Amino acid sequence: MDEKLTVICAMALVGMLTLSGKCYPASIEYWTTHSLDKVFPDTPRPEGASVAITLRAARNETEDAQVIVRVPKGVEISSAHFSLPDLAGPNGATFSKENLSAYWVWYTYVLNNPKENTDPSMYLRRAPAFFPDAFLENPVIRIRDEWTQPLWVSVRVPKGTGPGTYSGALAIDLTDGAGQATHFDVPLELRVWPFTLPDEPRLHHTEWFSVDALANYYRIAPWTEECWAWIEKVAEDMARHKQDTILTPFWGLVQVRQDAAGALQCDFTALDRWVETFKKAGVTWIEGSHVAGRSGGWESPIIWGRFHVLGADGQPLELSPSKVSEEQFEPYMKAYLQAVHAHLKERGWAERYVQHIADEPIPANEASWIHRAKCVRKWLPGVPIIDAVMSEGLEGAIDIRVPQIQHVKPAKQRKSKEVFWSYVCLAPQGKYPNRFLDYPSIRNRILFWLSYTHDLEGFLHWGYNYWLTWSNVPAPVDVSPWLDATGASIYCADRLPLPAGDPHIVYPGKNRICSSIRWEVVRKGIEDYGYLYLLDDIASHPKKYKAKKADVDAARKLLKRVKTDIAAAPDKHTMNDQELISTREQLGNLLAAVIGERS
């Protein structure tokens, strides 16, 4: 750190701020903390808290930290804004501020903790309470008195960045109601490791996006140009957060007409635009939406999903289950899926296409699920069948099995040759990790370490943007996701309420898709998986990397500790932020030692 930054740190350490050009004892406090920390409106400054940001990152990675501002009683901040710096690097290099971003954090009010969380150590504090989550798109905010306000800071390291240390200072300016100004500089140091994460994440990742929920929130018609503009923003947001797979709603994208001879004619214009939009952003795997679903209650048989077909006269055909039997409808489904598959092959996209049957089959309806899976396998040879499952059956009918994380078996206990992913939703709760708003961030990030230790190849969650009011809410309410992160489901007495944060991980902004702490932590976990995968490859193939024996031994020892201590099992993993952060830094140092010599 240069002399200027040393002076800045010294000033901050003695709690001095610049007010109107003069120095006074600090009344407004600030400190910095790591990205796993969640602070609350009443969080005081910890004793000995850091006043500088120090980050370590690979190329093609994003690393995060937080600046925390604490406004004392009797002081109202009418304007709080920040300025991002260029960073000075080795040999006169400059790290552009275009690669830095910062967002003020919004507190979401949570009324209830998950029902099964009877152990207070599993969540951060008892609800009702405010919990930090969403990122505000407005760079200038007001801060009330007796309030602790986080600022989330991210640094994205481009692939071509030279290794070494880069430094500068982030500026924060506050103006109170009387017009008195407060300014302070936050030292920022970035060390770039001499290795690069791949463009495509090692772990497949899908969060289900609802076009209907987006259109409903913004009061726009689905598939209009205005809607497509938002879909482009969604695609870019997903790619930034290491999502490579997109649930593709064939029913809404492919228009179907039956000609006079009885053959189906498909218009793929919208499907092509969808695939090209996400592919351009970097989301390149097509996840075909479910072709079947339950006929009634949870244990009811699985039946084919009906889609709209126009007759030769332009009028919709009547294909509902009450009018057309499963056997009569099956030829429609066959022709439809085969037409979609043929088109994907023609466009060169079929190699990255997987297909759902019906969500979460259980033993009571697995026979009806298997029948439809076998039909689809016959109709679409070579297309992997994927589903979130709640049954240990289905052998021979599924290619990519996606159990909830608590049901994942270690690889050595698996008998089949199926590929395994994992998923979470409103379950599991209690001692198992998830991404709920009231959980510590480590319980979100550890999901991806468990993906490595349990040889999983993907992660699925249903709730990217379900900003809709949950069904059966006993009032015609239109709940903002900024104010209620459960879709108002806590008001449904006849069904299990969704834990806060389950329906969505992003928020609707005026001009952009707004991220959240949880969404950034997901991205960070996928980058961690990349570190673990790469170090595992070095430990398994040292000659490929010309690795020194000492480095290989260290890599194997560290990976063993990850598997036995850090992320041993869904109910046995570290809850210590610093332990996870330290382990990730050890991973980076080892990768730098081995790969850096080859760079």
Residue 473 has pLDDT above 90, yes or no: no
Within a domain: residue 286?
no
Residue 405 sits at φ, ψ, to 5 deg, of -55, -35
- Over the stretch 61-75, which tens digit does the pLDDT of each residue have? 999 999 999 999 999
Mean pLDDT, rounded, of the chain: 93
Instruction: Please give the angle made by the CA atoms of 255, 270 and 323, to the nearest 5 degrees.
Output: 20
Q: Which of 151, 180, 196 is the last residue of a domain?
A: 196
- Check if the beta carbon of residue 437 is closer than 8 Å to that of residue 500: yes
pLDDT of residue 543: 96
pLDDT at 398 over 50: yes
Our CA angle for 121, 124, 128, nearest 5°, is 120
Closest Cα partner for 243 from 290, 200, 197, 196? Answer: 200
CA-to-CA distance for 46 and 48, rounded, in angstroms? Answer: 6
Integer Cα distance of 488 and 466 in angstroms = 12
Residue 278: pLDDT band by 50, 70, 90 thresholds? Answer: very high
Between 441 and 114, residue with greater pLDDT: 441
Would you say 222 and 212 are in contact if contact means Cβ atoms under 8 Å apart? yes
What number of H helices and E strands is found in the chain?
Answer: 12, 31
Q: Let me know: does 319 contact 384? Beta carbons within 8 Å.
A: no
According to DSSP, residue 71 is labeled E
Give the percent of the chain with pLDDT over 90: 88
Tokens 């990217």, residue?
A: 464
| φ, ψ of residue 393 in degrees (nearest 5) | -80, -145
**What is the spatial distance between Cα 423 and Cα 459, in angstroms, rounded to a whole number?**
6
Residue at 204 is within a domain:
no
Q: Which residue type occupies 131? A: F
Banded pLDDT at 417 (limits 50, 70, 90): confident
Distance (Å, whole) CA 168 – CA 84? 9
Looking at the structure of the chain, the number of domains it has is 2
Helix (H) or strand (E) holding 369: helix 366-379
Which tokens go with 155? 């640094």
Would 588 be classed as within a structural domain?
yes
Best mean pLDDT range from 113-127, 290-304, 468-482:
290-304
Confidence of residue 597 (pLDDT cuts 50, 70, 90): low
Taken in order 572, 577, 578, 580, the sign of the CA dihedral is positive
Angle at 381 between CA 256 and CA 351, to 5 degrees: 85
- How much is the pLDDT for 18? 41
Q: Which pair of tokens denotes residue 423?
A: 């998923």
Amino acid at 59: R
Q: Considering the domain boundaries, does residue 184 fall inside one? A: yes
- The span from the CA of 319 to the CA of 325, in Å, is 9
Domain that holds residue 25: 3-196
Q: Residue 221: CB partners within 8 Å, gap ≥ 6?
A: 215, 227
Per-residue pLDDT at 247: 98
Provide the pLDDT for residue 471: 82
117, 427 in Cβ contact below 8 A? no
- CA–CA separation, 268 and 254 (whole Å): 5
390 secondary structure, DSSP code:
S
Specify which residues 109 forms β-bridges with: 130
The token pair at 592 is 């730098």
Please answer whether residues 516 and 35 qualify as being in contact, where contact means their C-beta atoms are separated by less than 8 angstroms. Answer: no
- Whether residue 240 contacts residue 201, with contact meaning beta carbons closer than 8 Å, is answered with no
Calpha distance 195→163 (Å, rounded): 8
Using alpha carbons, select from 460, 435, 464 the residue that is nearest to residue 210.
Answer: 464
Reported confidence tier of residue 20, pLDDT bands at 50, 70, 90: very low
pLDDT exceeds 70 at position 8: no
User: pLDDT at residue 479 above 90?
Assistant: no
State which of 178, 196, 214 marks the end of a domain: 196
Domain boundary at 157, 173, 196, which?
A: 196
DSSP codes of every residue in 277-342:
HHHHHT--EEEEPPSEEESSSTTSPEEEPP---B-TTSSBP---TTTS-HHHHHHHHHHHHHHHHH
The amino acid present at 467, given as its one-letter code, is W
Q: What is the pLDDT of residue 546?
A: 95
pLDDT at 48: 95
Kindly state whether residue 183 falls inside one of the protein's structural domains. yes
Query: What is the rounded distance in angstroms from the CA atom of residue 6 to the CA atom of residue 429?
Result: 46
* CATH code of the domain containing 112: 2.60.40.10
Tens of pLDDT, residue by residue over 118-127, are: 899 999 999 9
In degrees, rounded to 5, the angle at the alpha carbon of residue 421 between the alpha carbons of residues 419 and 423 is: 155
Residue 48 forms beta bridges with which residues? none
Whole-number CA gyration radius for the chain = 26
DSSP assignment string, 465-511: B--SPPTT-SS-----TTT-TTTTGGG-TTSPPPPTTSSBSSEE-SS
